[in-house]
Structure 1
């Protein structure tokens, strides 16, 4: 089962990673000014991850595929790692869809 891990950055902001059951990071948030804003971001991931239209599939300058998860207002709420292939990226999206809705939250902030 996946989990959200909340942590405090070196600059004092709060962020989260969504990890798959194997411990691999599948989505990384922006940095938030408050823990409550970070928690709202987690809820937004839970909701928006169930709508395929919210996944923006992209290609980095070096050709690596990756994706952003966007909220209904178009704001990016999470970014993926760089993948070796489009099919690997699609597997990452499927993992976010599967894990996000009922992932536990581990607060390490």
Structure 2
């Protein structure tokens, strides 16, 4: 079972005010590569649960946020700090790429 919650476009601005870095996984149910990184996002959420917020956005159901950030290929993982994008990882990546990007923000 996934530990990462899906958020809606209407909730997105509120997560940007988070005091901790926020990992946003732009995904879709039909996306095979997205399903491959889903367990990595769950692990990231668990391993960094007190230091990072991890959420998902379904780009089919919530198009506005994906459009605002010019998401053209998924999976796309954006890391936000202080309301700004500080890292973008597109495609399938190993777990250590996500952790290395996060460690730079902690």
TM-score, length of structure 1 as denominator length: 0.29
Q: With CA pairs under 8 Å and 6+ residues apart, which has the higher RCO, 1 or 2? A: 2
Scaled by the length of structure 2, the TM-score of the pair is 0.29
Compare the two structures and name the one with the higher strand fraction: 1
Between Structure 1 and Structure 2, which shows a larger proportion of helix residues? 2
